[in-house]
Amino acid sequence: MDTKNNLSSTQITAPQPVTLKQAFVYWLKLGFISFGGPAGQIAIMHHDLVEKKRWISEKRFLHALNFCMVLPGPEAQQLATYIGWLMHRTWGGIIAGGLFVLPSFFILIGLAWVYMAYGALPAVAGALYGIKPAVVAIVFFAAYRIGSRALKNHVLWSLSALAFFAIAVLKLPFPIIVLAAGLIGYMGGRTSPKYFQVGGGHGASQKDYGPALIDDETPTPQHASFSWNKVLRITAIGLGIWLLAMAILYIRYGWDGAFTQMGWFFTKTALLTFGGAYAVLPYVYQGAVEHYHWLNPTQMIDGLALGETTPGPLIMVVTFVGFVGGWVTQVFGPDAVFMSALIAAAIVTFFTFLPSFVFILLGGPFIETTHGNLKFTAPLSAITAAVVGVIFNLALFFAYHVFWVKGFTGSVDWASVTITLMAFAAIYRFKVNIIPVILSCGVLGMAWKLLA
């Protein structure tokens, strides 16, 4: 092993303790630079917190990451919450997790406002025309990337195909597909475990970067120790906050009110975000587009395109969904459309991320106390396999709406097909980052529309 990466404590001194103010500055900076999806965001945190600042050791970092991968919700945001909580108690976790999403929230609010108010302008429409084919390529690549890691045998391939059939043909709700896959994985893990083994995931290098503030052998801090009293208290507080928020919406707007239904729907969405945002987007589509009609299919694709261009977890696309839903429903009347949209976006974002904080504060003490291996790999591998089929269906759905704007009876938009192929080649063959691809496709689309 490289000696540069195996430095003893006699060669490098441990870093100085980090104050909550110093941590606040870092988490705020991370919120503005966390591009690249979960893999990119986790890589940024690993470089900063494990290699450079040495706030936490490699082993403890990966231990926390494994726990976050088991949970529903955005794993990178939950990892930030976990490390913030471990270092600076509950408020440290709330600050770390909150700042991970707040910059993206305000950026998306601005982009959504421009989209709704000025989306018909030729330049804006042209940019979106080019970005949408790029989104098609990105989602196809996501299906390929996850599938290449997850589908290791014919059983998992079959499970993925069944999931695709279930959502594309049978139109089964996404929660049923997830629960069925988890049950199959649980049973399969007991009877034929060799088919449901999970690989290395994000990869563990296990290098030694020198002593860390939270090192391999650092005792679990008092606030992170496990007790049933903590479990009951955190559960009561989490449920209490949720019930209070829902009660306020119910009393003010009624159960069928748009804001109340957004709170309820996106609570369910938060509990089903296994396998990343791409996996839960079909469920968001089923609810927000087909059931509630908060936005149309084109707006859903545009929202994903804008979400890809902002920092933070991709599930932040729900902020755009909420904004458009509030704009369309006009809860506060036609003279306060922006305020309706802003409040709707805030409600959706709050209910989407509240469970993530509760899960970390609830499960963190158990994980820190036991330092044991999580034994959920079989259900997770089955769910991940099913997710590949669901994402592939999502990619086909987006491709249909981008390539055949007027349906199969209309002509194919070959310019969009060409941009999609170019974007996929850039990502897959030339390993170009997603942000430059999206921006380049936006410029191409703008030029095409303005010059055509």
Residue 152 neighbours by CB under 8 Å, 6+ apart: 197, 199
Whole-number pLDDT of residue 434: 79
Q: Between these two residues, 126 and 246, which has the higher pLDDT value?
A: 246
9 pLDDT above the threshold of 80: no
Burial status of residue 239 (CB atoms within 10 A of its CB: 0-12, 13-18, 19 or more): exposed
The alpha helices in 73-226, defined as continuous H runs, are: 75-118, 122-150, 154-168, 174-191
Structural domain contains residue 211: no
Residue 221, in any domain of the structure? no
pLDDT confidence of residue 75: 84
Higher pLDDT, 308 or 199: 308
State the Cα–Cα distance between residues 326 and 342, nearest whole angstrom: 7
* DSSP 8-state class, residue 330: T
Residue 368 belongs to some domain of the structure: yes
Integer Cα distance of 276 and 348 in angstroms: 18
Tell the residue number behind the tokens 């209490």, with chain if given.
240
What's the whole-number average pLDDT of the chain?
87
Q: Residue 206: its pLDDT value, please?
A: 52
For residue 326, being part of any structural domain is answered with yes
On whether residue 285 sits in a domain, the answer given is yes
Confidence of residue 198 (pLDDT cuts 50, 70, 90): low
pLDDT attached to residue 13: 82
Q: What domain range is 174 assigned to?
A: 20-200+226-451
pLDDT beyond 70 at 54: yes
Cβ burial of 278 (10 Å; 0-12, 13-18, 19+) is: buried
Question: What average pLDDT score do residues 26-34 get?
Answer: 91
Amino acid at 259: F
Predicted confidence (pLDDT) at residue 276 exceeds the cutoff of 90:
no
At 214 the three-state DSSP class reads strand
The distance from CA 175 to its chain's CA centroid, rounded to whole angstroms, is 17
* Alpha-carbon torsion angle 381, 270, 77, 290, nearest 10: 90
- Residue 119's pLDDT is what? 86
How far is 71 from 50, CA to CA, in rounded Å?
22
Alpha-carbon distance of 45 to 79, in angstroms, equals 9
Answer whether residue 421 is part of any domain. yes
**Residue 225: strand, helix, or coil:** coil
Q: What pLDDT, on a 0 to 100 scale, did the predictor assign at position 425?
A: 96
pLDDT at residue 10 greater than cutoff 70: no
Query: Does residue 205 sit within a domain?
Result: no
Does residue 214 form part of some domain? no
Q: What separation in angstroms does the CA of 122 have from each of 41, 249, 297, 406, 448?
A: 34, 39, 20, 20, 11
pTM for this model (two decimals): 0.79
The answer to whether 312 and 34 have CB atoms below 8 angstroms apart is yes
How is residue 19 written in tokens?
């104050």
* pLDDT at 25 > cutoff 90: yes
Number of domains in the chain: 1
330 band by pLDDT with thresholds 50, 70 and 90: very high
